């Protein structure tokens, strides 16, 4: 008998595979599955306490909340690491629950997470592999400013440009290279 979560979706993929891609952020997340939803749901009162206030938490506070630990040293939210927390915070911004971070604020977290966006900046020559926090934040803010000046208002509106989208784009540069697409080809499509 097929488990309810394993029934095929309209496009033929199994539901679990449709909703959960275990290697979407690099290494395989064996514990990532839809069964975690029940645990997150039981913790919804924690979210309400954090977000049902007259002043919403900053992007940075929401990030550190998501990766926080309990007194026993275990993470507050199971299976949410630094990259997942960063992406969830981006979703919270887009949902209007957290204010848009400044380029400098997001640059700080890009440096801390040290994943695709940082590597993407290195690949296109904005920073060196051994970049320090201050240099990365300055480079990210400079890139954001340059794009805001170079893109027309219509272009920015069509692509939904903001610093969250910029962070996602930098990650994709790294991902494209990992898939064998040459950096010159990637950059030629950006120009």
Q: So what's the pLDDT on residue 5?
A: 45
Q: So what's the pLDDT on residue 1?
A: 43
**Cβ atoms of 178 and 172 closer than 8 Å:** no
Give the pLDDT band (50/70/90) at residue 186: confident
Task: Provide the residue count of the chain.
Answer: 191
Whether the predicted pLDDT of 180 surpasses 60: yes
Give the pLDDT band (50/70/90) at residue 2: very low
Q: What is the mean pLDDT of residues 123-145?
A: 95
**Cβ atoms of 115 and 26 closer than 8 Å:** yes
State pLDDT tens for residues 77-101. 877 888 889 999 999 999 988 999 9
């Amino acid at each position: 008998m097929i488990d309810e979560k394993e029934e095929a979706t309209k496009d033929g993929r199994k539901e679990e595979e449709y909703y959960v891609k275990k290697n979407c952020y690099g290494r395989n997340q064996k514990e990532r599955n839809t069964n975690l939803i029940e645990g997150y749901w039981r913790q919804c009162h924690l979210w309400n306490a954090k977000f049902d206030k007259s002043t919403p938490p900053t992007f940075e506070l929401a990030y550190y909340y998501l990766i926080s630990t309990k007194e026993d040293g275990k993470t507050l939210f199971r299976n949410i690491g630094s990259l997942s927390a960063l992406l969830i915070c981006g979703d919270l911004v887009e949902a209007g629950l957290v204010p848009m971070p400044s380029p400098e604020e997001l640059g700080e977290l890009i440096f801390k997470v040290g994943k695709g966006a940082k590597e993407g900046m290195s690949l296109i020559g904005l920073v060196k592999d051994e970049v320090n926090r201050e240099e990365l934040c300055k480079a990210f803010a400079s890139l954001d400013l340059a794009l805001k000046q170079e893109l027309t208002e219509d272009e920015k509106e069509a692509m939904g440009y903001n610093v969250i989208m910029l962070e996602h784009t930098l990650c994709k540069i790294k991902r494209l290279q990992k898939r064998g697409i040459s950096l010159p080809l990637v950059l030629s499509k950006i120009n």
